[in-house]
Copies of this chain bind each other. A is one copy, B any other.
Amino acid sequence: MSAFDLEAYLTERRALVDAALARLLPSEDTPPPTVHRAMRYSVMAGGKRLRPILVIAGAEAVGAAPAVVMPTACALELIHTYSLIHDDLPAMDDDDYRRGRLTNHKVFGDAMAILAGDALLTLAFKLVAENAALVKDARVICDVVAEIADAAGTGGMVAGQVVDIESEGKAIPPETLEYIHTHKTAALLRVSLSVGVRLGGGDAAALAAIGDAGQSLGLAFQIVDDILDVEGDPASLGKSAGKDAAGAKPTYPALFGVERSRTLATECLERAHRNLDDAGLTDGWLGQLADYVVTRKH
């Protein structure tokens, strides 16, 4: 399949996800309106929808349709968005811009941004629970709730943010940087793929392979993010390039240089491909999606 096909695939899946998000989020005039406006402001700000697309691609790789996993796909985007809203707060990374527009708290105030984040995290688990209507065995949903909670909590994303904050302005060893990246970013990307395969009816072998592949891909994603922050085009990034260095954030290019970072990302990608091959999951879109994670320009 050509790169053109992948673009079309991404555009199509993104449109499905955007439509589902618009439907599943409470409307802006649902009382109390302020918090619903704040939630929609950040969720509907665009973005690659990479996590929902990984959920869908995971399901498709084992023969299930996107509709079967759509509530959970949206849930992963809500969790990603809540983490961005809270990370941007003055008490955390203190960012004014995100995806080319003012951050949530700059528009709605700190209190509303905290509450909008809390509400998105809460709604995410409701959507996963509602996915029960689309699968035969409700135990799968319980497993998915637990798996997502692990990846989003202090075994995953929150742990990464904690260590990231505690490392700011300090010289940290490569192991700590890898800990931050695998927890803060990779955990949620890994679980997106994994719950897609699980909800799609994948067997234990597929689940094990996809977990390993997701872990490697997630790390590759964040290394590439770090590189793009050094080299990227600010217009397509939607934030200022060089921001990480300015804020003394630990990054792969800062520790290893750009060239070595690129090699590390490629090695992660190769590991992911081997995992997917072993499980016979490369034939569909997953293999191309994996390449996209490393070759993307924004």
Residues of A at the B interface (CB closer than 8 Å) are 26, 30-32, 34-36, 39, 82, 86, 89, 91-92, 109-112, 114-115, 117-119, 121-123, 125-126, 128-130, 132, 137-139, 141-143, 145-146, 149-150, 152-154, 158-159, 161-163, 165-166
Contacts and interface: CB of A to CB of B under 8 A. Distances in A.
A115 B31 contact: no
A153 B32 contact: no
Question: Which 4 residue pairs spanning A and B have beta carbons closest together?
Answer: A126-B149, A91-B110, A138-B138, A129-B145
Copies of this polypeptide in the complex: 2
Contact of A129 (B34, B92, B115, B149): B149
> Which of A31, A89, A162, A166 is most buried by chain B, counting CB atoms within 10 A of its CB?
A162
A146 B36 CA distance: 18
A270 to B, nearest CB: 29
Contact of A161 (B115, B122, B150): B115
Nearest to A140: B138
Nearest to A133: B142
Nearest to A154: B119
A190 to B, nearest CB: 16
B141 A126 contact: no
A85 to B, nearest CB: 10
